[in-house]
Structure 1
């Protein structure tokens, strides 16, 4: 048990967050009500935040949280007990009375596929997984999917109600049912990794360990579907990105952009494993988004051997990816590649072509790219405006400092 005196609230929050998805999945499978499971677990977390700093973290934090959450559910069912809830109430009560210590089964993958059920709005499957399995709040999810927090919150509430009302089972579906649900599960794993990727030093309690957890889930999906090319592609993509984790900050903690990173600091075993997965995926002759994104990262990783990214391959890959996704973020990255191949004017023209897309209005990388290209063209006023916009949109202090330094350099 950790000593209370050395237990700041952040440490308590980290212990709680690490158990969130596993406990929600376990409780949801028994109550068949995700929202109620989340509410009960939220109360358990609150009690932990109040008690653990004084008493210390219990020997088994997950079991402690589960016990408190289960009591919350039992108490709630007693107040509103109906015939249809009787079975769930008795099950919870029986578990509450059985105080024998036991391992809590990890049912997160079952919950993820329940959230990806065809009865759930296709737009909400990945966001629902992010909230129920990984504990993201609606505002964070909204930012990832470029919609307003209010809209996302309302949609999540409706989606959780649908799971309950439609009686969606909490199980890994049969093999013939998997493909139609897989896209949402892969998208949620990727979004979880991206959230952890935004905190490379692991200092954000809410994001700590998310990248590792996402890679673990991706490996689990590949074990489940070893011949699914997009599952292989996603794992390859995550490993390529994770290989560069240590190179994204220098020894002083300063942000280092991709093209200025030292390839010697990239983790060669992860890159080799990623390329092997990508080759395996290619044997199935079904190219998808994650394979293309992994191939893009591989075209950057070739700089380890040649000293230069394969910009020609990158343009072709981004063209194919845009044809597949029509994503403004893909168009933005393509514009950056065009600037490297054909110069800043061509890159800026590609940026101008997507400037009216409202989804980019508050997207920091768009303004950072625009600032960089304006600076290359010696348009100091426009570069300054774009850098200020990017700095205002960035939450990471290291990236803000990097952008501020670039802004000063552009104005000198």
Structure 2
């Protein structure tokens, strides 16, 4: 076997290894994330680049914990809570999660519709929003889980466009390096709001639920590994680390793009999703504009099934209803009904007068405020030997997990203080 064949075989094995971690990481950079990162770059230039380095180890640690909960308990995060904790904890989690996820779905649909209209001006944005909603609902209901997972994996490739865009524009790499490694903080409402938004859309609560339940779904389809062992945990960590690295790179390059092109071009405010793309056109060229716009649609197609699926798993596990993307519609009617309702509710938010970018950023901030509660619950589960057995958290996982909890809590408290007290 020659060297080229060995490399190809190794890459194929690694691609097959990737699954929930890659999909989770890629869906983290949904239109909500793109809008938040774009606004951060436009308003503050390169001043928030350092958040990419800070967020990566924290988000990877939390997602690994969620994945481990799914693998060890064979339950989603909601199922593990229901089995091992008082019901009020479960209902508190549901109360925190539902509005943010539905708003996120609605904002993503609106963003995709707006960009669809941008690419095809003769067709109204509302048509695109309805079209994407119906198409996604049909695909989620009629495609089996393995095909959905494979489709989502290949959709991740769309995100690579954001790694290309900055190289289409002249960059000051010395300034970029400085802002990457030297944190810059401003203690005012606007900057802290953006910081909470970045952390909230990066360490997003809906991804906690998706990661755990997808590990359970994956295990159902692996005939050779029915018992969790160290190899399965190792493979899971590789998958999650790669997915979170991918997500962090995309986040970094979007802030880099908007922080140089828009900020240096005197554009400091992004009010609609299409503005983020349009603003790039005269400053960075048609190719940058098209890549940015296409990326928004691609990430929406990736993220909305994850968002609606996460919400459906949360609700159906809470009430003990039949659930699972591997089930046909007649086998899990309630599960698919929740997905349908969440998509319709999300679509209806387009008609209440909230601009897509404001809804996207509000969603990210809401995630930032609710994430500390869920991170505290996840840490408690992962240190509970009655639940996790021999797979309780290592010291490293706890250090990173509690660091995420402290950081998210501090940012949320600072935002509330500046909003209502200062």
TM-score, length-normalised on structure 2? Answer: 0.26
Instruction: Select the structure with the greater relative contact order (CA < 8 A; seq sep ≥ 6).
Output: 2
Q: Larger Rg: 1 or 2?
A: 1
**Higher share of residues assigned helix:** 2
